[in-house]
Chains A and B, each alone.
Chain A
Amino acid sequence: MDVLQLLLSGLANGCVYGLVALGFVLIYKATEAVNFAQGDFMMLGAFIMVGLVNPQFMGLNFWLAVPIALILMATLGYLLDLLVLRHMFGQSQTAVVILTIALGFVIRFIAGVIWGHEPQNLHSPLALGDVRFGGVVLSMADIAVIVVTVIMTMLLWQFFQRTKLGLAMQAASQNQMAAYYMGIPVKRVQGAVWALAGVVACVAGILYASKGTLDISSGFIGIKAFAAAVIGGFGSLPGALMGGLIVGIIEPFAARYLPAGYSQIAPYALLIIVLVFRPHGLFAQVRVKKV
């Protein structure tokens, strides 16, 4: 029972890591850039929800606030691309990476100014009650996280496999010039990717805030999610989710069975092992061609 309990709560945590990792992979797939502010996007999405829902701020109904928060984050993603990242066109990857790290600082600062530096609890209907079955206790929030993540991943998968926009995103990431002459408005498509990354981050943020307290440094789970994305194989959507789940599950087990403190480094130890033995990640789509 003990093992099952650890597994399930690890799974719920892992889903949040997985969703943030999905955001990393989305941006990387479509623009070849790594957005190190993805964790802070998540934090911002969560704080926007706190601002809309909690009584000391606007006190809106939770289900009304969800679409508003999603639209706000989508708009923010799109505007960031339009106003900032598009001007980085032709600059080195390093420049883009540093820029997104700086963006993370800016987002943390702004969130601190608006919502304060104290930890907050989102008044979420998902945060109420536990479910017990066969000696295992799961909070409603954990169940919601798992269900929403599964649905989200399926929708994203459908989106990239089947839709004109999803396919255009993949085409634009592989060859911008060719994509243009197939009739794909490359810049607008990349803006749409950033908007989508904003939405995914917001969903992750709402789930994260439903599970526990939130403060402006919550975005640092982005570092763990980045490790998850690399473990899964950067560039693969299902890989990102699997990476997130693995990291999520490893943590409680390391905390339970290893000496104190090891659970903190367990994800990164795994990251190193994966990088040594499978440098393209566990679920990488690229196979190196041997000539």
Chain B
Amino acid sequence: MSLLDLNGVTLKFGGVTAVNNLSMSVNEGEVFALVGPNGAGKSTVFNMISRFYRPVRGKISFDGENLLNHRAHEIANLGIARTFQNIELFERATVLENLLVGRHRHRKSSLPEQMFFMGRVRQEEREHRLAVEEVIEFLDLQAYRDKMIAGLPYGVRKVVELARALATKPRLLLLDEPASGLSVEETQDMRWWIDDIRRQMGITVLMVEHDMGLVSKVCDRVLALADGAKLAEGTPAEVQSHPAVIEAYLGTSAISKTANAKGERV
């Protein structure tokens, strides 16, 4: 069953068509990747799903709900969480505090109750803390729990951002280049985590990623974009060997060479 559907979506910035008549659907429970050269429109697709941009044409729906009727701050409430290519954390707060902000949408008590820290609020706080501790354990962040974000290395921040997204308990997780800037070991960890996020937590994942090694290991399906339009869609192996994809990445001459070499790998 498809969870997220894009139907004929087009977005223009002035005269530039950033995304052109794109249709795709992500099924519940799968890991789906968007790949393509820089400027292909991958992050733009993310920004439309999280309602930062509004497409000029087309429909985006999540679990039957028209996303275009919702504003950016309502997206989290529908059960969509995301990470950013250039990490967006609350810098002057600790790891724990960042994750607790992730629980924002689950806070139900009223302002006066919170002000005077009444029984129901205390109960709620305990639940939030528990939910956050589960995520901390899952991603091995115990050592950083009370550290300020401003002093943390890049690799750890990346994991904290993933943790904060998980703390919102989403149904769909958007990962914008989860492996960029990570070391080989960190990328390896990321791979297992994405696997577990899908298997143990049952969260559907849509990611943008350049590292084809990671993509082919964790993804069920891949969609290749170039200049805002769909080039190919299918399993990682299918998309990687698709002539249009090779052309977009390496240029036309590469394609004739491949053709000449017949069967030799590019």
Interface residues of A (CB under 8 A from B): 155, 158-159, 162-165, 167-168, 170-171, 174-175, 177-186, 285-286, 289
Contacts and interface: CB of A to CB of B under 8 A. Distances in A.
B104 A181 contact: no
B77 A286 contact: no
Contacts of B126: none
Contact of A178 (B90, B92, B150): B90
Contacts of A178: 84, 88-90, 101, 164
A183 to B, nearest CB: 3
Interface string B146-183: 00001100000000000010001000000000000000
A128 B73 CA distance: 50
Given A163-B111, A180-B72, A181-B50, 15 more contacts: A158-B115, A162-B121, A164-B107, A167-B104, A171-B90, A174-B90, A174-B93, A178-B88, A181-B81, A181-B82, A182-B164, A183-B77, A183-B105, A184-B73, A289-B151
**Interface of chain A: mostly helix, strand, loop or mixed:** helix
A47 B117 CA distance: 36
A289 B107 contact: no
Contact of B104 (A158, A175, A183, A286): A183
Nearest to B71: A185
B92 A159 contact: no
Contacts of A163: 111, 114-115
A167 B102 CA distance: 11
A182 B76 contact: yes
A183 B73 contact: yes
A235 B117 CA distance: 25
Find the residue from B71, B101, B115, B150 having the highest chain A CB count within 10 A: B101
A162 B118 CA distance: 11
A175 B71 CA distance: 18
Given A171-B101, A182-B76, A162 B115 contact: yes
Given A163-B115, A175-B88, A182 B104 contact: yes
